[in-house]
Amino acid sequence: MIRLNNNDSIFHKLKDTMPYMKPAQMRIASFIKDNPRAAMKLTVAEFADATKTAASTIVEFCKKLGYTGFRDLKISLAQEIELVESMTLDFERVSRIAGNLVEFVYASASESLSSLCASELETAAKGLLPADKVEIFAFGFDAVAGLDFFVKLKQLGFQCNFYENPFMQSISAYHMTSQSVGIAISSSHSSRDILDSIQYAKKAGSMVISIAAAGSRIAAASDVVLPTYSKTKILPEGGILTRYIQLLMVDSLFLKLLEMDKERFASAYRQFEEIINYKRRGDRGVI
């Protein structure tokens, strides 16, 4: 099991480490995931009984996650109770959200945008402007935002690559240079494939911008982070809420680029419009 630091949230810690846990550790983590509110009310001895483990195992589990003890873990759990609850599929909760989806997404997107530091956004844009090549690392549900940013960057005239295959992403990242920029988009917190691509990009001296959870390993491995914060999720996996927030960050960075080099991108946009207008007249081939 990988030891984490105290800067990571309990949600991120559980997501990152559960695949590697031993049976006793898994029972502890599963109880927290499935019954977070109940776990907060238990003593160490009661929690040990509930998970069929020893009190010493509970304390060891807490310390391996970076907490001083069970009380410290419960404090972190209380701060992210809704996020931890969303790790378990609850169809009643899904139904409530579905009936008010627009307001739910708006509230979550607003929270995420408020956590976006203006200086980080500007730093990301400044890094992108002189890039000779941009590599986008994203796959699965995150590929939606990856493709969206790829199209937007091509529209502005950037040399940009986006492969949905993680193997191809790593190969492409391996051939980056100090003039290239990598964009990592991930909701998985610790995707080994994304981390591999980031590692290759950093080895080449490239700047890496991540659109990811602020406390994730993806963010920690990046130079600039555009955080996809949310206090809860609609589904444990599936990217419904995360996708909206990722696209919000993509659009924020896209608009910042337009703002920072108006002359360059005004020309690129006119060329884009020419192509669109030509195609709208009918696909007659290039003249």
238-281 pLDDT tens trace: 567 788 889 999 999 999 999 999 999 999 989 988 888 888 87
What pLDDT does residue 235 have? 64
Angle at CA 9, nearest 5°, toward 4 and 15? 75
Whether pLDDT at 5 is above 60: no
Q: Give how far the C-alpha of residue 281 lies from the chain's centroid of Cα atoms, to the nearest Å.
A: 40
**Sequence letter at residue 282:** G
The Cα 12–Cα 206 span in angstroms is 26
**Nearest Cα to Cα of residue 84 among 21, 32, 41:** 32
pLDDT tens string 197-209: 999 999 999 999 9
- The CA distance from 28 to 61, in Å, is 8
Percent of the chain with pLDDT over 70: 91
SS3 75: helix
Query: Is it the case that residue 217 has pLDDT exceeding 90?
Result: no
What is the mean predicted confidence (pLDDT) over 57-75? 94
Average pLDDT score, the chain: 88
- In the predicted model, what is the mean pLDDT of residues 216-234? 83
Q: Given CA atoms 261, 114, 98, 243 in this order, what sign does their dihedral have?
A: positive
Under a CB-based contact definition with an 8 Å cutoff, are residues 144 and 158 in contact? no
- Domains of the chain, with CATH numbers? 10-85 (1.10.10.10), 105-275 (3.40.50.10490)
- The residues near 169 (Cβ < 8 Å, ≥ 6 apart) are 135, 137, 139, 163, 193, 197
pLDDT at 206: 98
pTM higher than the cut 0.85: no
Q: How far is CA 216 from the centre of its chain?
A: 8
pLDDT value at residue 197:
97
Q: What is the pLDDT of residue 104?
A: 76
- Interatomic CA distance for residues 64 and 68, integer angstroms: 9
Does 159 have pLDDT greater than 90?
Answer: yes
